[in-house]
Structure 1
Amino acid sequence: MTAYPAHPFARSDRSLLGQWWWTIDRVALAAVLALIALGVALSFASSPAAVARDENLSAPFHYAIRMCVFAGAGLVILLTTSLLSPRGVRRLAFFTLLGAIAVMALLPFIGHSAKGAARWINLGPFGLQPSEFAKPALIIMAAWMFAEGQKGQGVPGVSIAFGLYALTAGLLLIQPDIGQTILITAVFMAVFFMAGVPIRWIGILGALAVTGAVSTYFIFPHVHDRVNTFLSPEAADTHQIDRASEAIAAGGLFGSGVGEGVMKRHVPDLHTDFIYSVAAEEFGLVFSLLLIGMFAVLLGRGMSRAMRLTDPFEQTAAAGLFVLIGLQAAINIAVNLNLIPTKGMTLPFISYGGSSMLAMCLTAGLALALTRRRPGAYQPGSGADRGFGLERQDG
């Protein structure tokens, strides 16, 4: 009987793809690929109902077909960026953040406005949301600056990192996009904490973040309305979250079946912000918990690998990227379950949207690149420092 290899590449394969296969974290990669596949599947479940709500569309699988295109392009970005070295990751993050900030600065003049916010720039049939790409780039740049600042070589890393954060957050507030501002603030604080800065700085930053969050309640009318709606639902229009809650409840334990959901037809933004409610109605509580568990596996695996890295930049950058994915998923699901006010934030890899899919694949690809096994990358005996002849080389 002929024996077939269990892997696509032999351990002796020194090609670029061969080295990639034996150094990449295949568990995290599998989790990302599974989430992308689920996102495509759920787009086919939600597309007909979403199209029915838009009088300008007629093809029932309009959104599903576009989602397949986005997923294909995202896979290219994911696999390409996961091949990068740490230096390549820094370079890509620098130019990505530079480009995203430049486009965000132009949005008030050339941006496309929708629902009272100018967050997109139209590129033919595709709407680009630059803030999605600014998030992972900012996290990597902040981690890099924190690491450089701790070397004591005169580089004002902390000041540069805070300057980049303040610039990005300020441009987000101009749009306005409060949800993304809160997200990058939380992840920036996490990176700041993991970089090992004095705890008093964490306290100061936390106090400023709370002050800023409270201020948005009084400055931005839509934030005021959403918070009041959440705190006093009986005195406000809660149609969106009520329909989502009904869809989730209708799913029961095992769901109503593929394409059999009824309540989803009444959920606004069912294919984007509220795709979780579609999944819960058609596939049930068990599937919903499996979906949450998949994000938990990705976050747990990524954080475990990141914390065993020896380089301060690689450690904080990789951890920050995984936190970004996990926190955004948690916020979206919490909104769907009516645990927090609505944020208008996508579920990573699952919600329909080109910018979201491409940016999340970029985020995952950069995180996978940073956690690849390299000589001396991991602490001795951690288990992650072995593979493909890349034993740790000390000295």
Structure 2
Amino acid sequence: MILFGGCLILTLATLLVGPEVKGAKRWLWFGSFTLQPTEFLKPAFAVVAAWMFAQQQRSSEIPGNMIAIGLYVVVVALLLSQPDVGMTLVVSAVWFAQFFLAGLPILWVVMFLGLGIVGAAGAYIFFPHVTNRVDRFLKPDVGENYQIERAMEAFQTGGFFGVGPGDGSVKRVVPDAHTDFIFAVVGEEFGVLFCLVLVGLFTFIVLRGFSRLLEEKNFFVVLAAAGLLTQFGLQAIINIGVNLRLMPTKGMTLPFISYGGSSMLALAVLMGMLLALTRRRAGGSDLS
């Protein structure tokens, strides 16, 4: 709750005093360090939302579902004000997955799916950068696709075993190669086989986490850990999908691989909370 509340305040501060970078206001400057509060807001919100859903199940006197919906609206409003449509989609997917696991009525499932479709269409219509990225994805022969084309060339150059650490060229010609397109750098320098190993590691972490939840009896732990695992896996899928031209371009880092202070620290917080939730506790697994 402390982390979530602090991140909400800092996210609001980005709209008021944050610098505008490429048409978005998502960062705060603290000396030489740049902080993106929404990176920490994602895991904190997943845990708080899980707490509210679990409280609703524990006692009907506590309107946990309505509180979770209200917090979701606040978070999404802040994200869209920056604007950060991609992170909004990730937060929405994680929140919906948790709500679904919490026993979301089928009527609400249909309603939220409908709202999701309307929201995606609205983002395409009202946010020019979203329109541009989707159009370039659907019609790759029309418009500028420099980053994606260089990324695909990097995979072809790397082949199965890569050109060697440090010998790749894509990192010198593609903007944000150290963050958004780090997977293409890995593919060129270490090869497709190493990329498959990397994908296998992400898959193992997610599946191992869910396998631990099969033994868990605490409903809050199940919802919170499931939300964090979904967020971790979804972030990896988006970054890899963008690099392989399977999704429209989106500024999403590859967990623990991309360079970036806020993202790396936030992922460390996420994994720390996940380990705390899924660890074996003396005297049983109940968390008060």
The CA deviation string for residues 274-333 of structure 1, in whole angstroms up to 9 with x for no partner, is 000000000000000000000000000001112321010011101111111011000010
What code does the residue aligned with 1:280 have? G
Aligned identity (percent) is: 51
Residue identity opposite 1:271 in structure 2: H
TM-score calculated relative to the size of structure 2: 0.97
* Structure 1 match to 2:285: 377
1:290-309 pair list within 5 angstroms: 290-309=197-216
The one-character-per-residue Cα deviations of 1:212-259 (angstroms, maximum 9, x if unpaired) are: 111100010100111111111111001111111111221100000011
Secondary structure in structure 2 of the residue aligned to 1:299 = helix
- Using the alignment, how far apart are the partners of 1:203 and 1:297 within structure 2? 32
* Partner of residue 199 from structure 1, selected from 106, 131, 153: 106
Alignment of 1:83-122 (within 5 A): 94-122=1-29
| Per-residue Cα deviation, 1:107-134 (whole angstroms, up to 9, x for no partner) | 1221122111110000111100000000
1:133-172, aligned counterparts within 5 Å?
A: 133-172=40-79
Shift of 1:262: 2.2
2:176 aligned residue: 269
Mean Cα displacement is larger for which, 158-167 or 147-156? 147-156
Task: Indicate which of 264, 274, 288 corresponds to 1:357.
Answer: 264
Distance 1:268 1:307 in 2: 42
| 1:376 CA drift (Å) | 2.6
How many residue pairs get matched?
A: 285
Over residues 11-30 of structure 1, what are the superposed CA-to-partner deviations in whole Å (9 max), with x where a residue is unaligned?
A: xxxxxxxxxxxxxxxxxxxx
| SS across alignment from 1:122 | strand
Q: Is this contact kept in 2: 1:310–1:376, CA < 8 A? A: no
Gaps of 5+ in 2: none
Q: For residue 191 of structure 1, what is the amino acid of its counterpart? A: Q
Q: Does the CA-based 8 Å contact 2:228-2:270 persist in structure 1?
A: yes
Given the two structures, how large is their TM-score scaled by the length of structure 1? 0.71
Aligned to 2:82: 175
Instruction: Give the letter for the 2:285 counterpart.
Output: A
Residue type matched to 2:64 in 1? G
Aligned AA (1:246): E
The equivalent residue for 2:185 is 278
The residue type equivalent to 2:284 in the other structure is: G
- Confirm whether residue 311 of structure 1 aligns to residue 218 of structure 2: yes
What amino acid is aligned across from residue 213 of structure 1 in structure 2?
Answer: A
Tell me by how many angstroms 1:199 deviates.
Answer: 2.5
Mean alpha-carbon deviation: is it higher for 307-316 or for 333-342?
307-316
C-alpha displacement of 1:153: 4.1
Paired amino acid for 1:205: F
Aligned runs of 1:192-231 on 2, under 5 Å? 192-231=99-138
CA RMSD across the alignment: 1.1
The separation in 1 between residues aligned to 2:246 and 2:19, in whole angstroms, is 31
Show structure 1 runs of 4+ deviating over 4 A. Answer: none
Q: Mind listing any 5+ residue stretches in structure 1 that lack a counterpart?
A: 1-93, 379-395
The alpha-carbon deviation at position 361 of structure 1 amounts to 0.5
User: What is the DSSP-based 3-state SS (H/G/I as helix, E as strand, rest coil) of the residue aligned with 1:302?
Assistant: helix
Instruction: Write the distance in 2 (CA, Å) between the matches of 1:109 and 1:143.
Output: 30
Query: Structure 2 matches for 1:315-326, cutoff 5 A?
Result: 315-326=222-233
Please tell me whether the aligned partners of residues 250 and 263 of structure 1 are also in contact (alpha carbons under 8 angstroms). Answer: no
Residue deviations 1:158-193 (CA, integer Å, cap 9, x gap): 010011111111100000001100000011111111
Measure, in 2, the Cα distance between the counterparts of 1:302 and 1:204.
30
| Matching residue of 1:27 | none
- Distance between the aligned counterparts of 2:29 and 2:171, measured in 1? 29
Distance 1:342 1:377 in 2: 41
